[in-house]
Amino acid sequence: MYSFKDDYSELGHERVFTDLLKISNQQLASYGLDSVSRDAKKLIQKRFALKNADIHFISGGTQTNAVFCKAVLSSIEAVISADSSHICVRECGAVEYGGNKILTAKNKDGKLMPCDIERICAENSHEHTVKPKLVIISQATETGTVYTKQELKSLYEVCKNQNLYFYIDGARIGAALTCNGADVKCEDYGNLCDAFYIGGTKNGSPLGEALCIINNNLKQNFRYFLKQHGALLSKSGLIGSCFKTLFNNDLFFELATHANAMAQKLANAFIKKGYKLYSNSPTNQIFPILPNQKITEFQKHFEFYVWKKLDDNNSVVRLVCSWAAKEDEVDKLIGMFK
């Protein structure tokens, strides 16, 4: 049974494993200080125009978010995020387990708005409340939507006005960069936030994210926090090698483009058959609204998540196309519309 449940069921692209095998018997320096990781960081720095950013390779997204929050926040400080964000609904309370409350705003198509930040800051402005200090968004969002360059600028401007840090969870930043209509380029991110991470796990790597810290005030002692939280891998050259491959000859962007294309082929087919989409997603996640009877029929042949029940007869489903999505399986699902 073919799965449209996520974009990380396939272990990784064959070129990533081929390059790993080439260095499998080499002696590499430990804890991210190896030559392969340095090469990978240089590739990322060049592509994203990050001359002075500190880059850290971390095993997964939840760990990246949790360690970053712990490193930059004191115990009295809080995170602001949309109520649909990954840190709120998909990370088992990892940030709050670390000691920092998340203050949420009702999302608008998956997005956090500048007015939400201003309101939450106004509501939490004295010593009887936690103190907002960090804003976290996802790019792309949990509903597949993408922030425009102007939207990111507006959010960052509000953060600076409110003396907040601005951090972008980039688990699916590849999808956001390569989708139709995207106006945020790689080189823009260094000027639009204090830190962000590049997701490898959901775009062809067997594991790993690349955390890019831009704000100099957030760089100090970060490796200490990584070590304290079990995130400073002795064999971190493993992740470095994955990212070196992904950013050599644009494999990272090639894979994201394919994932988006397969999902949008599905989206267009649903629309042509008269089905509505729950969100306006141009990326590799789509959310068609389907009759429950049709969902049951599809589930006999495909795996996917039923995202939300709308009424007694209809529900929203999430279909995710991975970097390795098979077009014949996409066509097979489309063929079931008849």
243-254 residue pLDDT tens: 999 999 999 999
The answer to whether 94 and 252 are in contact (CB under 8 A) is no
At residue 338, the pLDDT reads: 65
| Residue whose C-alpha is closest to residue 104's, from 136, 74, 146 | 136
Whether residue 17 is predicted with pLDDT greater than 90 in this model: the reply is: yes
Average pLDDT rounded to a whole number, residues 210-228? 98
Summarize pLDDT for 145-196 with one digit per residue, the tens. Answer: 999 999 999 999 999 999 999 999 999 999 999 999 999 999 999 999 999 9
Helix (H) or strand (E) holding 285: strand 285-286
Tell me if the bond preceding 140 is cis, omega within 30° of 0.
yes
Give the C-alpha distances (Å, rounded to integers) separating 300 from 74, 263, 285, 290.
50, 20, 21, 15
pLDDT in tens, 261-272: 999 999 999 999
Give mean pLDDT, residues 55-62: 98
Ranges of H-type helices in 106-145: 114-123
Q: Would you state the pLDDT for residue 171?
A: 98
* Domain ranges for the chain: 2-7+251-335, 14-246
* Fold category of 2-7+251-335 in CATH: Aspartate Aminotransferase, domain 1 (3.90.1150)
- Three-state DSSP class for residue 319: strand
Tens of pLDDT along 28-41? 999 999 999 999 99
Quickly state the pLDDT bin for 43 (edges 50, 70, 90): very high
Asked whether the predicted pLDDT for residue 69 surpasses 70, the reply is yes
pLDDT confidence of 337, banded at 50, 70, 90? confident
The average pLDDT across 185-212 equals 98
CATH topology of domain 14-246: Aspartate Aminotransferase; domain 2 (3.40.640)
Percent of the chain with pLDDT over 70: 100
Instruction: Write out the DSSP string of 205-250.
Output: -SS-EEEEE--GGGTTTHHHHHHHTT-S-TTTHHHHHHHHHHTSTT
pTM summary value: 0.97
CB 305 within 8 A of CB 237: no
Look over the chain and give the mean of its residue pLDDT values, rounded to a whole number: 97
**Residue corresponding to tokens 């990111």:** 152
